[in-house]
Amino acid sequence: MWTRSFAVLSLLAVVAVHPEAGAPLPPPATDEAITHALNRLTFGPQPGDLQRVKALGLQNWIDLQLSPSRLDDGALGAKLARLETLTLDSQAIQRDYSGPAMMERRERRRANPDSEPAMAGGPRREVSDTQRKDRQVIADIEEAKLLRAVYSERQLQEVLVDFWFNHFNVFAGKGATRNYLGEYEREAIRPYVLGNFRDMLEATAKSPAMLFYLDNWQNVSADSPSPGGAQPRPLRGAQRRAPRGRAAAEPTSGKAASPKRGINENYARELMELHTLGVDGGYTQDDIVNVARAFTGWTIKPREASGAMFVTRLHDDKSKTVLGHAIKAGGGENDVEQVLNILASHPSTARHIAAKLAARFVSDTPPTAVIDRAAARFITTKGDLREVVRKIITSPEFFATDAYRAKVKTPLDFVTSALRATAADVRSALPLARELRDMGMPLYFCQPPTGYDDTAATWVSAGALVSRMNFAVALGKNQLRGVRVPLSEEAAVALKIGSPEFQRQ
């Protein structure tokens, strides 16, 4: 965290509770409490933030962060304007970027069938303009994420976009998923992070990125007359995450596997285990099968269009039972609506979401009391995420002494908080994306559907600390390409980002 001296902060904040109503009083107004809130609810304080929040009032600042539309983010918009692919839909990405690159690679293989792919450490193959243009799609998304984290005034929103993307993770390295990635974050995640959970659940379920990543585009009734629908090419030699308790399936060859006809349970399992109920949420294998049956027929529109579509002839339209709820035969695409309603309103979902948010904002092992209150708030508001987050970040547990510096920063948190602490001028964020890859956190390339973890056990190791110190040294010496640190007295002090204190938030 940023202070002039980077001294270890006092851990003496006390949160009182009203003796009659039992409701927490407004957040404490101490410097320690404000700095704690800045560390947890943003990607790190900037010089002057402590004084600004103090003048505004911590409660007023929290209220503003919970209503991001009230904050002017025009300066960030100007920085994002040069990223030309950022606002394109998947149709344009396929037509103008990935499609031409794919055709060029096919032509190259056709012309040189015996050529071997370039190996790591071997001579570099010349990159054509078409391939370079294709790579720009991922580069723009990575750069936008870092610029938003560093410069956005809507800091809590950006923290939550990162949280929810990991909760509903998709892997950019799996085939066609990359074509839908920008669209996925822009349309299925970002609009809902302070909105209704049920709405985000549906938006992710019907996103082409999720349909491809967890294979629901292959999920069809075994009785359907023909595959139909859009048929994206499966990932060559892709490994799937196995159900808990089973070994992961190994690819048998480098050739693309032919999709098996019939029910595919991959998405249904992760929908219940990760996205809603949690691993101990009370569902059975029969529930997984019936949810998968409800999702049959949902696939990806042909490449000349964007979005998902429902193909009636691919759907299992027989009756189903999910968590004890009967879904009548003949429901068609409405089967999915019923399943999502059941899952979103289930008490296990409320608790699973509350526990994950509390672990993100309070501690890796948050007190049961804050989880209980957040879960109750989820239920009474029917999944209003703004109110659930508010319940957590204004709680006594959030401002308790034990919560201060209780979280270890992820590589993304570490890098962006260092840039904010030093008031760095980021002219190109691509070198920073490479730094994150070296630290084990390549943006948008987390392969398991669990997404990146944000607990200490994942990120604390000797190698990780060395990488962070190397980054701190390079930043302090102005040796990072695309980044310039003003070497004022305050910035020079702030460059102590390699210290153990700075690893925590």
- pLDDT value for 260: 57
Q: Under a CB-based contact definition with an 8 Å cutoff, are residues 323 and 347 in contact?
A: no
For residue 314 the two structure tokens come to: 């691919």
**Which residue in 158, 198, 188 sits closest to 65, CA to CA?**
158
Q: How confident is the model at residue 26 (pLDDT cuts 50, 70, 90)?
A: confident
What φ, ψ does residue 484 adopt, rounded to 5°? Answer: -130, 125
**Residues β-bridged to residue 319:** none
- Region 357-384: mean pLDDT is 97
Amino acid letter for position 324: G
**Which residue in 311, 263, 331 sits closest to 291, CA to CA?**
263
Could you say which of 403, 421, 441 is where a domain stops?
A: 403
Q: Does pLDDT of 67 surpass 90?
A: yes
In this structure, the answer to whether residues 219 and 301 fall within a common structural domain is: yes
User: How far is residue 158's CA from residue 332's CA, in Å, rounded to a whole number?
Assistant: 37
Average pLDDT, the chain: 85
Report the number of distinct structural domains present in the chain: 4
In a domain, 414, yes or no: yes
What would the pLDDT profile of 131-180 be if each residue is shown by its tens digit?
888 889 999 999 999 999 999 999 999 999 999 999 999 999 998 899 99
Look at 466 and 488; give whichever has higher pLDDT. Answer: 466
In a domain, 62, yes or no: no
Could you say which of 403, 425, 451 is where a domain stops?
A: 403
In this structure, the answer to whether residues 220 and 336 fall within a common structural domain is: yes
In this structure, the answer to whether residues 328 and 393 fall within a common structural domain is: no
In a domain, 52, yes or no: no
In this structure, the answer to whether residues 446 and 356 fall within a common structural domain is: no
Which ranges of 423-484 does DSSP label H, i.e. alpha helix? 430-438, 456-459, 462-476
Owner of token pair 């066609």: 176
Highest mean pLDDT: which of 144-158, 170-184, 211-225, 256-270?
144-158
Query: In which domain, by residue range, is 162 found?
Result: 78-108+130-205
